[in-house]
Amino acid sequence: MLDSARHERIGLPEAVFCAGKTAGQIAAIVAEAQARAARLLLTRLDAAGFGALPAATRARLDYDTLSATAILGGAAAAGPARIAVMTAGTSDLPVAAEAVRTLGFHGHAALRVADVGVAGLWRLLARIDEVRAMRVVIVAAGMDAALPSVVAGLVAGVVIGVPTSVGYGVAAGGRAALHAMLASCAPGLVVVNIDNGYGAACAALRALGGT
């Protein structure tokens, strides 16, 4: 049961979180949306899950492996990027990609800045002026998650940290990254749940909403 009234209330259509849903359930949701001529974003749909969908369903969807997302109805046209999506390491890319796809679905381009973890500070500084020009910055980082603190000390826009569950030992699962972001000394850094690229994008859309 999709909540079509929600779009009116908060400006964000409900996405379909596919983890834990059967292929049959997902196909039915897609069919129902198509019948209504509605666009639809599906998240947490991994390659195996996409492969298990009926061929007819797959044919209607624009699927992306890295972000594990599918889009029904095509991306919206996007103007110049007002949102940056940054990653500390390569393992953070899937989470960042989920954010980028969610933004694209809502008609927003994103400036992607990858592999700028603080252990290699110069790579970050080389890109910081581009980032400073954005209204919102999403930063996906796991492990020590120092990147969002550094970025929030350098840019004036909204900075949204997304802890990622990458790493091992004390980093495994993303709690260390989450706590580091919440405890950040940089004022005004906000945080979403671990691996929640979709949520970070929704927050960015809220921030751009009135502008």
Quote the least distance from Cβ 132 to a second copy, whole Å: 8
Quote the least distance from Cβ 51 to a second copy, whole Å: 17
Pick 53 or 167: Cβ nearer a second copy: 167
Contact 154, 132 (CB under 8 A): yes
- Strand intervals (E) in the chain: 16-17, 40-43, 61-64, 69-72, 83-87, 110-113, 136-141, 158-163, 190-191
Quote the least distance from Cβ 81 to a second copy, whole Å: 14
Pick 76 or 172: Cβ nearer a second copy: 172
Contact 92, 142 (CB under 8 A): yes
Sheet holding 40-43, edge to edge: 16-17, 40-43, 69-72, 61-64
Contact 15, 42 (CB under 8 A): yes
Pick 59 or 65: Cβ nearer a second copy: 65
Quote the least distance from Cβ 140 to a second copy, whole Å: 13
Pick 61 or 88: Cβ nearer a second copy: 88
